[in-house]
Structure formats: C-alpha cells, structure tokens
Copies of this chain bind each other. A is one copy, B any other.
Amino acid sequence: MTTAGRVHNFCAGPCTLPVSVLEEVRDEMLDFDGTGMSIIEASHRAPAYDAVHMDALTDFRDLADVPDDFTVLFLQGGATLQFAQVPMNLLADGESAGYVDTGAWGGKALADARLLADVYEAWSGADGGFRRMPASDEIQVSDGSRFLHITSNETIGGIRFPDYPEVDVPLVGDMSSDFLSRPIDWSRFDLVYGGAQKNLGPAGLAIVVVRTDLLGRSGRDLAAYLDYSTHASNDSMANTPPMFAIYVMGKVLRWMKASGGLVEFERRASERADLVYGAVDGSDGWYTSPVDEASRSHMNIVFRLPDEDLEKRFVAEAAEAGMVNLKGHRSVGGIRASVYNALAVDSVHTLVDFMGAFRAANA
C-alpha cells in the first residue's frame, strides 16, 4: 500500500489516475464550482458544463498539438465502436484500405471493417505469435488504398510501433493504449482514435481526431450518431455527451500540461519501461520477455517466469504487497505490468524491488 492506503495499480485499463484529480472530483461531488449541484446533475447545455467541455476540447488540442485542420470529437462506445465508425465515415462504396493485424485489437478492427468496406490485411503477425510489429517494407499496401490502419500499441501482446510505418498512404491509428504517452506526428495521419480509460480518464469516452476535410467524404447516409459530421458540427454535444468522463479527463489533461506535456510523458514512459525491462534483462534469464526487443511496449510490459506456478505466486504475493492487477491477459498468460501516464515512478521502483526479492527467494 502507498501511504494514503492506495495500491500500486498496474491494470491494463481502466487504470490509476492522479490522486490530485480524484481529490478534486471528490470535493466537487455535491457542489460543482458553486452551482449548487454535482457536475453529473448539470445540464449539458448549462454554462458550467459548457466551460468544462470546451476547455477539455481545447486542452486536448493543446496537449497533443493537434493541427488546425483536424477536428477533435468526444464520443461513446469506446474504440470498439470506432472499428465500425472509421470505415463508415472514411470509405466510400468500393474504396479500399489496408489493415495491419498486430494482435487482438488490430484483428478486431479488421474484422469489423470487413463487414463495412473493401478492406484487406496488409500484414499479419499471427504466424509469429504477434511478438513484433512489422517493418515498413513488410507491409503490403495495395494500389488505390485510402489509408493504412494500425494499432499503435497492442495492450494484450505488449508490443508497440516504436516509429509509425512509412507507407505511401495516410495512416489511421487506434492509439487506445498509448494515447498521449508520446507526441504524435499528425502529418502522417488522417485519423487517430482511442478510448480514454487507460492514459486519460474514466471509461465511457472515446476521442477521435480526424482531418476536417474528410468529414462526410464517404457519402454514406449514416444514422445521426454514427456520422462524425453530427458531432463535429455540434462540438460533440449533438446529444448528451459522457459528461463525467469528459470532466475527469479535462482535469487529467490539465495535470499533464502542468507536468510538462507529452515530451515529459514520453520521458516518464521510457523511464518506467527501462526500469521494468532492465529488471527482466538483468535476471540472468529468470524473467523473460516474450516479445521482440525493438517492439517492446512502453505501456504494457509483458514478461514470464520459469513456470506458471511461480507466476501465480508472483501475482498473489505482489498483491499482498500492494501491487495489483499484474496478471497477464488470459489469452497469453504470464505477467503484465501496465505503466500508464498517471503511474508514479515510485510504483515502478516498488515493483522492480519486488521482482528482485521474489527472484532471490525463488530462483
């Protein structure tokens, strides 16, 4: 436990948030900003919420350095609904796009897109057990493709693109599990999306950043909610937005700006990742990383112990020592330490110390 009775939370998402943000939310729960009501009781058309909402849009844009020719949307349904909304909004009848299948999430994006448009697999890591990201020259982009869809970081497999693929078409990126953990080179992207619930706030909010001139380009007659244009022309308040999640994310964004912005969060992510991978690599092979070194995620650090029994004990003893949610995803096993933006480096030091002690006791 930390001093305030709080655990070290290594969950793959939703995950730990800054304590200062939670304290503000707590203190405002019965009366937000002198309105005499909670923010969750406020009209989304009221000035108090409008300021929260518009500030969150602005702060997201500032923090991520989103260029003026992109529109930021706050939506619902998670990245999962985006697997459908992206092809609906970006691909006209008969147009095609390539999808890179790098694991669980890349695969889901491709499966949904196949139902809605003429898309194809531009590369798959399935044969290699999804242990690495492809090099640019391995990705087969067909002539006439509108975009190439990538998953910047695979939460389950624990791999990431250290650099985005160099291809001749714009990229569309699902950045759910490393959103705003490093600067984004917007010149490479037509659209970026992600759920908020890992690096940025509570579950129930997805952020889509799309080139404004692509709104309406598919020419499809989409239902109101499914059409990006509906939300774009109403500052993401065409219908009642997920107000609480936006309110909390707004506080996280301000905390990130005050902490040094994305350059600093990229540095912190490297520091956290280096500590854990260092403990793995320095264990004389007792801890092992199942993924290619060049593709190692800086957000979801997957490693194995000599056997599954030891892994079970590792997870249990870590939990007793106040480090929770270290069990790997059921589909791959092992240990997974997710080290998102709000995780203090102190929590990582605690984990690394525990890794050393556990190995000493069990090797």
Contacts and interface: CB of A to CB of B under 8 A. Distances in A.
A26 B167 CA distance: 49
Dominant secondary structure of chain A at its interface with chain B? loop
B44 A325 contact: no
A16 B30 contact: no
Interface stretch (A73-81, A270-278, A285-293): A73-81
User: Number of copies of this chain in the oligomer?
Assistant: 2
Contacts of A224: 80, 83-84, 108, 111-112
Contacts of A204: 76, 204-205, 240-245
A345 interface: no
Interface in A298-347: 322, 324-325
A207 interface: no
A240 B203 contact: yes
Interface in A3-61: 4-7, 9, 11-17, 19, 22-23, 25-26, 29-31, 35-38, 40-44, 46
A284 B242 CA distance: 43
B243 A14 contact: yes
B19 A37 contact: no
A195 interface: yes
A226 B203 CA distance: 18
A16 B37 CA distance: 8
A17 B43 contact: no
A17 to B, nearest CB: 6
Given A76-B76, A202-B243, A203-B242, 20 more contacts: A1-B36, A4-B30, A6-B36, A9-B37, A13-B43, A14-B40, A14-B41, A14-B42, A25-B29, A40-B203, A76-B81, A80-B224, A80-B225, A80-B238, A112-B223, A115-B221, A202-B244, A203-B241, A203-B243, A204-B244
